Amino acid sequence: MAKKTVADLNFSGKCALMRADFNVPLDDAGHITDDRRIRAALPTIRKILDDGGRLILMSHLGRPEGAPDPKYSLAPVARRLGEILERKVPLAPDCVGPEVAAMAKGLQAGGCMVLENLRFHEAEVIKDKKAKDDAGLRAKKDGFAKALASLADVYVNDAFGTCHRDNASMLTVPQMMEGKPRVVGFLIKKELEFLGGALTSPKRPFVVILGGAKVSDKIGVIEHLTTRCDTILVGGAMAYTFMAADGLATGNSKVEKDFIEEAKRLKQHAGEKLKLPTDSVVAAKLEPGAATQVAGGAIPEGMMGLDIGPETVKTYEKIIAGAQTVVWNGPMGVFETPPFDRGTLAVAAALATATDKGAVTIIGGGDSAAAVEAADLADRMSHVSTGGGASLEFLEGKKFAPLEVLDEA
């Protein structure tokens, strides 16, 4: 998917409306606990400002119910961005309206502002299909998008984490800006290069690591990547649905009973490429410091599988060591609760070592990104995606309408 980028434009004398992903975690006091998503947008922001362009940033934060809610204000984001850029970054009182338009018009060359949370407006999240079937919803969504589109000369999308959504700011706004430049930022460019490269021209052996709780979340990925990769390593609770499909006892482990037949089909589809854990770390309860034991194969009655076991770790480490391209999406166990983080941390360490030896390692956002951050290994990966759900859908081979509508390179 070759798209024009901000590098193809000179923003001098232009005003850019940039969709960023500033959905950062906040503590109870409203302080940002991880500013990684803000920092990820900096190369694009600085390019526009250094050109002498004017920049209007828009994003969502959290899940407000289509109305203003102070706890979801983007004020902490504007404040943090100002600290990083060492300049004042004002927050607009809303994202549309006369006051916002006046602020945008008053921006000076090299200046930027942040619009208030897009999701304070119901129109932002109206599904495009519903809008097509309901004239009232379409008018509301179009009116909101038109007001946003009128603020700028150029549209920039650098919010990969929401590229699988048909939100107004992601799809309807660039549609409204047809005839004006519509480009991607450096962050999306990097996402497309790494994730797209893994799908179309990976260095081999190409290994995919899939974890997390649900087989149902990974069906499309397994189907799409089986014909493209050499090995799929499975961990997390989803492994126990596969075990149940093999007729093995799973104790009290989390199993998607409605997807056991689907797991059988996927095993047959993937064949020898699909590798399942040969042992598990089990416990009677999920709690920090719980008493554990290692179970080979079946899970004992009254116990639940909560991490891959040491034998599986060694097997997976060996496979990763021989890989040239690795894509990882989903933890190997309940990594938020020690001691069930060992398998996930071991995989993260193996990936870091593989990167050091020249492999391309791609972390598919979400919990996997959180895991490599917790292990302080993010900087040793080739690429850490900023979109968990988006990267998963991209790996399934789905097309993203918000990217399709942008200018071709």
Q: Which of 214, 264, 267, 380 is catalytic?
A: 214
Half-sphere exposure of 102 (CA within 13 A, CB side): 4
Q: Any alpha helices (H) in 160-298, and if so which ranges?
A: 173-176, 186-200, 219-226, 238-245, 260-270
DSSP E strands: which ranges in 309-401? Answer: 325-329, 360-363, 383-384
Q: Which of 62, 110, 197, 389 is catalytic?
A: 389
Q: Which two tokens stand for residue 245?
A: 């499909």
In angstroms, the CA 166 to CA 131 distance is 11
Is 182 part of the annotated catalytic residue set? no
Looking only at the bridges linking them, the beta strands covering 154-157 and 293-296 are unpaired
3-state secondary structure of 382: coil
Q: Which of 14, 37, 80, 182 is catalytic?
A: 37
What are the strands of the beta sheet with 54-58, ordered from one edge? 112-114, 54-58, 15-19, 154-157, 182-184
Is 53 part of the annotated catalytic residue set? no
In angstroms, the CA 366 to CA 149 distance is 30
Is 37 part of the annotated catalytic residue set? yes
Return the sign of the alpha-carbon dihedral for residues 345, 348, 354, 356: negative
Is 214 part of the annotated catalytic residue set? yes
Q: Which two tokens stand for residue 3?
A: 């798209």
* Nearest alpha carbon to residue 401 among 227, 237, 172, 110: 172
Q: Which two tokens stand for residue 80?
A: 């943090």
Query: Active-site positions?
Result: 37, 214, 366, 389
